Amino acid sequence: MHRLATVFEELAAQDRKAFVTFITAGDPDTATSLEILKGLPGAGADVIELGMPFSDPMADGPAIQRASLRALHAGQDMHKTLAMVRAFRETNKTTPIVLMGYYNPIYVYPVDSFLADAVEAGVDGLIVVDAPPEADDELCIPALNAGLNFVRLTTPTTDDHRLGAVLANTSGFVYYVSITGVTGTRAPDLEAVAKNVARIKARTRLPVAVGFGVRTPEQAKSIASVADGVVVGSAIVDAIAQSLDDKGRATELTVSSVLTLVEKLSAGLKAA
């Protein structure tokens, strides 16, 4: 559980905010996705969320839905996703990786085997969108017992009573969803984000990272002024999509264009 805590502690000591990047594992293919994954820390990512492709990503907007489909069509599965993490860990022992997605691919793995393999591969935590606190015995508690952080989502509609349940077994950091709706569809309202982040931080010592809707260096900078970290996903996934050829295959520009965007976003965040 230590990589996530270490990163947030080190950044806080430097008066910096965490830049959390999201890509979908296997998008547009395993080899290209791994090259992007390996390049993210050098481009400025402090924490990496690696999406577990799923055919019905209900919380995700069109960009990440398409990324999941591209990955699945290219043959990505959970075993290949964990293999990507192992390959990443061969050269990077410090950058935290959090697997993000849905319960179904974990359930069919099944759970105990998945948790053991995730720990062995070098995964640091999980964000499982459709695993509510009422089902903590199903995945959350076993994950914590296995040594993985379990990061929860809170939203603008999470009231004070519900917030207690959400925070009860959360570890690593709290992910505040800045908008109502799915990923990448609207820009966050800074005043509302600041108010809700303050409400969450009054209830927990965990860092709070904000995502869903952050697409530009300017937005990253403004969100960083009120949160401990900023999550960017759809904008990065869009950069992948825009670099592909007319058959949806990677081009010589795919990796470089994505990492250039990450560098620009990171620069905007550091300017905060």
69-128 confidence digits (pLDDT tens): 999 999 999 999 999 999 999 999 999 999 999 999 999 999 999 999 999 999 999 999
* Closest C-alpha among 78, 126, 98, 108 to residue 37: 98
Q: Which of 60, 124, 228, 238 is catalytic?
A: 60
Q: Is 60 annotated in the active site?
A: yes
Cα–chain center distance at 249: 24
Q: Which of 49, 124, 228, 238 is catalytic?
A: 49
pLDDT beyond 60 at 225: yes
Give the residue numbers spanning the domain of 95. Answer: 2-270
- Cβ density class 166-199: b for 16+ within 10 Å, e for less: bbeebbbbbbbbbbeebbbeeebeeeebbebbeb
Q: What is the pLDDT of residues 227-238, one digit of tens each?
A: 999 999 999 999
* Closest C-alpha among 195, 178, 196 to residue 187: 178
Q: Residue 188's pLDDT band (boundaries 50, 70, 90)?
A: confident
DSSP symbols for 175-195: EEE-SSSSTTSS---HHHHHH
What average pLDDT does this structure show over 197-208?
Answer: 97
- Tell me the β-bridge partners of 150: 126
Q: Which residue has the tokens 């849905």?
A: 102
Distance separating alpha carbons of residues 74 and 70, to the nearest angstrom: 6
Query: Percent of the chain at pLDDT above 70?
Result: 96
- Cβ density class 101-115: b for 16+ within 10 Å, e for less: bbbebbeebebeebb
Predicted pLDDT of residue 58: 83
The phi, psi pair for 52, rounded to 5°, reads: -90, 110
CA distances from 184 to 63, 114, 124 (A): 7, 29, 25
pLDDT beyond 80 at 271: no
Q: What's 107's domain CATH number? A: 3.20.20.70
Q: Is 263 annotated in the active site?
A: no
What average pLDDT does this structure show over 146-152?
Answer: 98
Structure-block tokens of residue 44: 């400025």
Say if residues 80 and 25 touch (Cβ distance below 8 Å). yes
Bond from prior residue into 188 cis (ω within 30 degrees of 0): no
pLDDT beyond 60 at 250: yes
pLDDT beyond 50 at 184: no
What average pLDDT does this structure show over 141-147?
Answer: 97
Structure-block tokens of residue 147: 């040594």
Structurally, the chain folds into a number of domains equal to 1
Lowest mean pLDDT among 83-87, 167-171, 186-190: 186-190
Question: Other CB atoms closer than 10 Å to residue 24's CB: what's the count?
Answer: 33
> Residue 134 carries which DSSP code?
G
